[in-house]
Chains A and B, each alone.
Chain A
Amino acid sequence: MRYLPHSAAERAEMLAVIGAKSAEELFGAVPRHALLTRPVDLPAHSPEFLVEARMRAMAARNRAGADGPFFVGAGAYRHHVPATVDHLIQRSEWLTAYTPYQPEVSQGTLQMLFEFQTQVAHLTGMDVANASMYDGSTATAEAVLMARRLTRKDRIILSGGLHPHYRDVVHTYLDNSPNLVSLPASPEGQGDILDRIDDDTAAIVIQTPDFFGHLRDVKRAADAIHAKGGLLIVVVTEVVSLGLLEAPGALGADIVVCEGQSIGNALNFGGPYVGLMATRKEFIRQMPGRLCGETVDADGNRGFVLTLSTREQHIRREKATSNICTNSGLCALAFSIHMSLLGEAGLTRLARLNHSRAAALAKALRAVPGVELLNKTFFNEMTIRLPIPAAPVIEILAEADVLAGVPVSRLIPDDPAVDNLIVLAATELTTDADIDMLATCLNAAIGGAA
C-alpha cells in the first residue's frame, strides 16, 4: 500500500518494542464480538492508474461548464480563476498546514487571514470581518443567531428575495421557530419587508442582488429596521457585484454575509465554498468564527495570532457563540489571492464586464417572442417568465447542450406562480455566441411547445 511506510518486518520489530504479540492485541479493549474477523465488504486496494480511470469515468458522466453555453447562477457563479491561484494554493505549506493554533510556525496562514479580513472589510464596507465561515448559507444562519444575541429579541424576518436554500438553512438552524417569518418569494422584486418590522424584530435579512437578480434598497431597509431597534443583515451571493454596487456597510448594514465562491473558487457542484462575514466593531464579541489579529512577538516583531477566542467552542464549550471550528481556510486563501491579483482596478473592471455581459443577455432575451424579463434592475443575473412551464424547457435546452439557467420551481416546488420562471446569470465568460445560441434554442423550445 503506497501510503503506508512500514514493511512487515518493521511492524514486527515495533510490536516487539511495544511488548505486544500481534497488532490484534493492541485492540484488546474492543469487545471481542465487535472486532471484525474478516475484512469489510469493500474492494481491495488499487493502483493509482486504476483509481484514476474509475474517477475519470465518473467525471465523464458530468457535463462541465466549459463544454458549452452556460447560464446557471442562483448563488454559485462560473468565473475565470487565474492559473496562479490554483498553483499557489497547492503549495504544500498552504495545502497541508493545520489550523494556525501555533502562531510561531503559522505566520503564513495568519498573515494571509489578516489580509483576507481586511479585503472582506473593505469590500463590504464594514469595520471588521472574520476569517471565514463554511459558505454563504450557513453564514446567514449564524448572522441571524448573532443578531438575536445582540438585540436580545427573537423575531427574524427573511425577505422574499432571499435565496430559497438560504431560507431553508435558516429554518433548519432555527428549528422552524415561530418567531421566524419568511416572506413569500418575490420574483418581481415586490413584497415590502419593511411593513412587517415591529418592536420585537431582532433583524431583517435582505439579499442584494436578490435571488431573482433585483437590486434592493439597502439604505431604506437599514433606516426602517434601525428605527425599531433591530439590525439589518445583508446577504450577497454574487460577491463580484460589490465591485460595481455600493458597499452594504456604507448604506447602514449591521452584518454583511456573502458567498465568496465567485472569487478564486470553482463551482465544485456546491462546495467547498467560502462564507464571508463582516460587522461593526462594537459587535465583534458576538461574532462567530475565528478572528486573526496583529500583535508582536517576544522580540517586538510584528506577528499575527488567532484572537478573541473566548467566543469559541474550544475555550468556552457550551457558552461559545457557535460550534464552528474548521472553516474554509484554503478557499479563503484562494479568494484572497484572486482578490490581490484583481485589486481595486481589476475588480472594478470585472464587475463592469459582468454587468455588460448581463445587459447583452437581457437584450437578447427580451427579443425572444413570449419571453418576459422581470427585472428593471440587475447586476449579472435576471429572471424571465416563459409562456409555458420552465423546467421542461431547461431539459430540452440541456439536450442541445445549452445550460439555460435554473427553473425557479426546482427550488420552490410548491408555488405555481413560479412555474414559468427561469433565473439566468451571465459572467465575463459568457460570449455573444453563447447568448445567440441560447436565444435561438429558447425561441425554438417555446415555439415548439406552444
Chain B
Amino acid sequence: MSMNTQGRPTGTGTASAAATGSSLLPNEPLLFEIGDTEHSGVDLPDVAVSGDFLGGFERKSPLSLAGLTEPEAMRHYVRLSRLNYSIDSGMYPLGSCTMKHNPRLNEKMARLPGFADIHPLQPVSTVKGALELMSELAHWLMTLTNTAAVCLTPKAGAHGEMAGMMAIRAAHQATRQNHRNVVLVPESAHGTNPATAAFLGYTVKAIPARTDGTVDVEAVKAALGSDIAAIMLTNPNTCGLFEPDIIDIAKAVHDAGAYFYCDGANFNAIMGVVRPGDLGIDAMHINLHKTFSTPHGGGGPGAGPVVLSEALAPFAPVPFVRDGELVEHPEGTHLGRVTAFNGQMGMYVRALTYMLSHGGDGLAQAAKDAVLNANYVKARLGDVFSVPFAEAGFCMHEALFDDSFLEGSGVTTLDFAKALIDEGYHPMTMYFPLVVHGAMLIEPTESESRQTLDHFCETMLDLAADAKAGNAERFTAAPTRAPRRRLDETRAARQPKLKWEAPQPLPQAAE
C-alpha cells in the first residue's frame, strides 16, 4: 500500500518546490509526501503471531504511518532543523524566557546509562544513585531559596504553579479555611498565574500596578480579606523590576491569613544573591529549563520544581526523597501525585550538572551578569527607545520598552520585531507584560558577550532610526530573509488544518 496516491511529488502543488530544490533552500516536503507505508529505517524480524492472547482485538483499521529509511530520515530532519532559529546560532532576547546557553556536559551526563536507562519502578535498592541525585538537587534548590521543602516532580513551570497552589489549598482546608476562594494576581502576571488559579477553582482578582511598574502594597492591603487564599506575584516582576515592597506585601498577606505564591520564572536575576525565603514567600516554582539551563527543545520538556515554606512543607505532593528513602505514598497531610513516577529525572541531571559546574559563587556571578547585561542594553538603547517606569532606576535581568518611540512611524512593535528577524536576531518578547503599551521585553541573559550585546544594540538603534526616518516598509514587509514571510494566522484558525490529509486520488486512466 502506498502513502501517496500520486507518488512522490515532482512538479505541481505547494510541496513541489520543496522536493526539487537545493538542500539550502528553506523548503522540505512533509514526511507523508516522501515516505510511504512500506519503507522503514528499522530492521526487525517479521514474526508471525497467533491470535491466542489477543481476544479478537487485532487492528483492522489502517495505520497509514509513513516510513523513511535511515538516510532519508536523516536528511528530512536535518533539513527541517535548518528552518529553526536556536540559541546555539544566535542571541535570543526573549524576555521572561531566560534563553541562556545550554552546556553540552549536561546532555552527556543525562545520557549516562545509570541515569537514562533506569526505570522509575525498578527496586529502590537498585537506584540509590538516582535518589542521591534527587536529594542533592533538592538541597541546592532549598539552599538557594532558603525554604524548608521542595516538590521536584512538576513537569513544567505551570505544573509547578499548580502543585504549589494545591499545597496552599490543602493548607487552608486543613485549617478549615475553605471559604478562601479568591486569589490575587497583578495585571502584569504571566498568563499561567490566573490560569492556574482558575484551574483550581479560585476566582481571580486583579491587582493594578503602580505607575512605576511595581505592585501597589496599599492596593494589596485593600484587597486582602477573609476570602483571600493567596497572592501570586512574580519577583523580579515581569516589568523587569524587583518589587521593593515585597517584604511588606508578604507580611500583609500573612497577617490576613493568606499565602504568598511567588512565580519563580525570573529567578535567574537573583540566584545566589537574594533568597526568596528571606522575603517571606511560601511557595515558588523554579523553571529548570530557564534558570538552570536545561534546553527548551522547541517547547519542552521543562521541569518546574516548587519550593515550599515551613508552613506548606507538610502538604508537599509525593513522591519525594526523605533521608535517602523514596516516599511514594502520601502520609499525613501530604498531597497525592501530580504526575506518574518521579518527575523529570533527565532535567534533574542536567540542572544539577549545571549547578555543580557553576558552584554557588558562579550562580551568583551569572545572576549579576544577567542583570548587568540587561542594564547595559537598557543604557545603550534608553536614549532612543522609550523606557516606561524610568523612575524605577536600574532594571533586573530584563529591559522593558514601550512603543511610544514608534509613534507616527506607521511601525508597530510586531513590525519592529519581525524586522529584527531580517537582521539575524530572534524577536524580543512582544506585547507582554500587558500593563505596557506595545511592550518590548528584552532578556539578554548572562550568556551574551559584550561584543554580541553591542552588535544587537547597534542593530536595534539602526532599526529605530530607520523607523523614525519613515522607512516603514522595511518593517511592515518583514521578514523577507527568513525561511517564511509572515504567516496567515487568521486562515489557520478559521479553517483549521491540523494534520496531513491524503490528496484526492487521481481519476483512474481507462485501460
Contacts and interface: CB of A to CB of B under 8 A. Distances in A.
Interface in A153-185: 163, 165-166, 168-169, 171-173, 175
A327 B342 contact: no
Interface stretch (B220-228, B403-411, B458-466, B477-485): B477-485
Interface in A307-328: 307-308, 310, 312-320, 322-328
A54 B493 contact: no
B60 A246 contact: yes
B506 interface: no
A206 B200 CA distance: 25
Contact of A294 (B59, B87, B289, B497): B497
A28 interface: yes
Contacts of A117: 498-499
Contacts of A267: 116-120
Interface in A214-252: 215, 217-218, 242-247, 249-250
Interface residues on A, range: 35 or more
Contacts of A123: 63, 65
Contact of A125 (B61, B363, B376, B449): B61
Given A128-B498, A313-B192, A413-B329, A64 B118 contact: yes
A46 B101 CA distance: 17
Contacts of B345: 268-271
16 contacts: A17-B380, A58-B115, A86-B111, A97-B84, A244-B58, A298-B477, A301-B17, A307-B496, A323-B196, A327-B301, A328-B300, A336-B31, A344-B62, A347-B63, A349-B40, A359-B50
A359 B54 CA distance: 11
A137 B279 contact: no
Contacts, number: 723
A245 B57 CA distance: 6
Contact of B369 (A11, A316, A398): A11
B299 A100 contact: yes
A326 B289 contact: yes
B441 to A, nearest CB: 13
B127 A36 contact: no
Given A270-B120, A346-B67, 9 more contacts: A28-B393, A98-B298, A119-B65, A169-B338, A175-B166, A298-B477, A320-B195, A347-B65, A353-B44
B221 to A, nearest CB: 18
A172 B336 contact: yes
A173 B159 CA distance: 11
B86 A96 contact: yes
Interface in B354-370: 355-366, 368-369
A242 B57 CA distance: 10
B399 to A, nearest CB: 11
Given A29-B241, A343-B68, A318 B499 contact: no
Q: Which of B204, B347, B499 has the most CB of A within 10 A?
A: B499
A128 B126 contact: no
Interface residues on B, range: 35 or more
A267 B58 CA distance: 27
Contacts of A108: 80-84, 298
Contact of A48 (B49, B357, B432): B357
Contacts of B298: 94, 97-100, 106, 108-109, 112, 329-330, 333
Contacts of A35: 273-274
Interface string B184-195: 000000111011
B41 A94 contact: no
B7 interface: no
A433 interface: no
A187 interface: no
B105 A51 contact: yes
Interface stretch (B129-137, B252-260, B305-313, B467-475): B129-137
A99 B35 CA distance: 27
Contact of B81 (A94, A100, A134, A319): A94
A39 B361 contact: yes
